[in-house]
Amino acid sequence: MALRPQKYHSPQTMVSESSTKNAARLIISPRTLIRIGMLAVWALSAEAQPLERAAVLASMERVADWQLEHPCYVDLRWRSAKNTGFEHMRIDWSGAVVRRRSVGSVPAAHPALTSPWATLVSWTGRDFPFIALPAAVRSTWQRETGLDSSALVSVQLGEEGGTRGWEMGTLYYGMRALANISTRVEYGTALDTIAEANQWALGPRLYHADDQIVGALYLDCYMRKKRVEMLAGVQSRLDWIMAHPAEGSLDVRAGQDRWTWCDALFMAPPVWVKLAKITQDRRYLNFMDREWWATTDYLYSRSDGLYFRDAKFFDRREPNGSRVFWSRGNAWVFAALAMIVPELPEDFPSCFPGA
């Protein structure tokens, strides 16, 4: 068995790495955004001593402060020199190149949003004026490509769903956990503003788990403010899915209308559980439970105690013949369990299946 490694940090290590400079490198990767929330949980645990708790909180606040000043990466696309496709470059807010690759086409834009969380909210889902980008982003792109802005065909802020996608949705989990324990109000204010700007709407794909994760933010807002519009969009989408359940294969190559990849167990199920708790309607819980176990029965290797990332990994082998498991993918599932299990009713049969 081969578990693809990822670099993880203990809370103590995180504290020592949390200067503003290191916070920038930490937070810009979507894979690390949930760490803010992980630290919040640890800081409130019995393991944390008062001085450690204070140090972790200060670290979390520095990282979150950086995030508020550097809201996302920028995706720029231009036609390749040979006119055979497009080039794509992702640059973070400070001007560092995150990746560069050739792509076949320009993605369709998500519906435009209204009301600002500064620049990010105003321009998510539609082309952003090149001249309005941070100077560091403009100069990096021009230096790396040798082109001017007339060559660009697309400039997007966070093209993977923007403020309603999985990357920002993961950040919202961590930022909310921080807002719950920090005395500073700006973190909660930022979340409330982004939710309002999103008009409490989920992503555009009806079934896709990545477009449901942002619902957790709206449901948190509803639990605090009890405004029906904060609940309506999430509830109507999940009601529609239950009335028209996807019935396709769980092989990801057939699509992603069901939870066909292990990350999906983090993206969608906690939202279903949270809505069930708010409404006291177990239909949401039962639907989540059924689909969770369908995905688990399909992707989970009982002999290895790990999830395959998706069906494409079933037959993959390392040079030594061992199976390939994606450690970050399994971490998504474990993080989902940490959020779901405490919210389940004590008499819910799937809490401890087989017990």
Alpha carbon distance 122, 135 (integer Å): 19
Q: Within 10 Å of residue 98's Cβ, how many Cβ atoms?
A: 13
Q: Which of 210, 220, 263, 310 is catalytic?
A: 263
Task: Map residue 86 onto helix, strand or coil.
Answer: strand
Cβ partners under 8 Å of residue 165, min gap 6: 158, 203, 210, 211, 213, 214
Cβ partners under 8 Å of residue 48, min gap 6: 11, 42, 56
Q: Within 10 Å of residue 91's Cβ, how many Cβ atoms?
A: 24
Q: Within 10 Å of residue 81's Cβ, how many Cβ atoms?
A: 10
Alpha carbon distance 110, 127 (integer Å): 10
SS3 content of the chain, % helix, strand, coil (to 5): 55, 10, 35
Please say if 281 is a catalytic residue.
no
Say if strands 86-91 and 74-79 run parallel, antiparallel, or are unpaired.
antiparallel
Tokens matching residue 104: 């076949």
For 269, how many CA atoms within 13 A lie in the half-sphere containing its CB? Answer: 32
Is residue 174 within 8 Å of residue 36, measured between CB atoms?
Answer: yes
Task: Map residue 132 onto helix, strand or coil.
Answer: helix
Cβ partners under 8 Å of residue 335, min gap 6: 34, 38, 266
Residues noted as catalytic: 263
